[in-house]
Amino acid sequence: MEYLSKVIDETFRNFNPAFSIPRMALDDININDYIIPKGWKVLVWTRAVHLDPETYVNPKDFLPSRWDNQKLKAGSFLPFGAGSRICPGADFARLTIFIFLHYFLLNYKLEQINPGGPIVYLPYQRRADNCLANIIKLQPSLHLPSPSC
Ligand code: HEM
């Protein structure tokens, strides 16, 4: 269970569903000597944040174990945004994904159709065939109640 949580965070880091977070400057603002004039709109490019090698060693590698002792600076992990507009559904979304994956992985086996196939990098890193796979239902396990319960 602890490991699954790391798999989910690593998936969000690599394949963030929200590719950017929009904001508007309410005043003229200076960020690293760039002036953003009042009223201008800005996109926080989460992919660049999540693949920053200064925060994440070998950022393109899918490594759930990187979350074992990961100490994050504020703003370096933004799958649900940040600040006062942070996604209010974050905990619900994470819990739903967690429960789904838990039962899915216990009860189904995935067989990749093109293992080792080519990888594409835009708009995010993924197998060119989107990891096409056969999904095989396993024998009923002790983890689910039988229909007679
Ligand atoms: C994997 C699932 C989800 C992802 C990746 C996601 C991501 C995000 C992101 C990046 C934002 C913008 C935050 C910001 O501007 O700082 C956002 C806003 C929002 N999300 Fe989600 N979200 C998810 C699921 C959900 C769910 C399940 C709900 C509701 C049950 C939800 C409701 C909202 C709402 C209402 C906002 C607007 C908040 C505001 O502007 O004040 N989201 N979400």
> Tens-digit pLDDT profile for the chain (149 aa)?
789 999 999 999 998 888 899 999 999 999 999 999 999 999 999 999 999 999 999 999 999 999 998 888 999 999 999 999 999 999 999 999 999 999 999 999 999 999 999 999 888 888 999 999 999 999 875 566 666 65
ipTM score: 0.99
| Whether the model pTM is above 0.90 | no
* DSSP characters over 3-71: HHHHHHHHHHHHS-SS-EEEEE-SS-EEETTEEE-TT-EEEEEHHHHHT-TTTSSSTTS--GGGGSS--
pLDDT score recorded for residue 145:
62
Q: Name the residue with the closest Cα to ligand 1, atom 26.
A: 89
Ligand 1 nearest-atom number relative to CA 18 = 10
Which structure tokens are listed for 141?
């396990």
Ligand 1 nearest-atom number relative to CA 96 = 27
Q: Name the residue with the closest Cα to ligand 1, atom 43.
A: 87
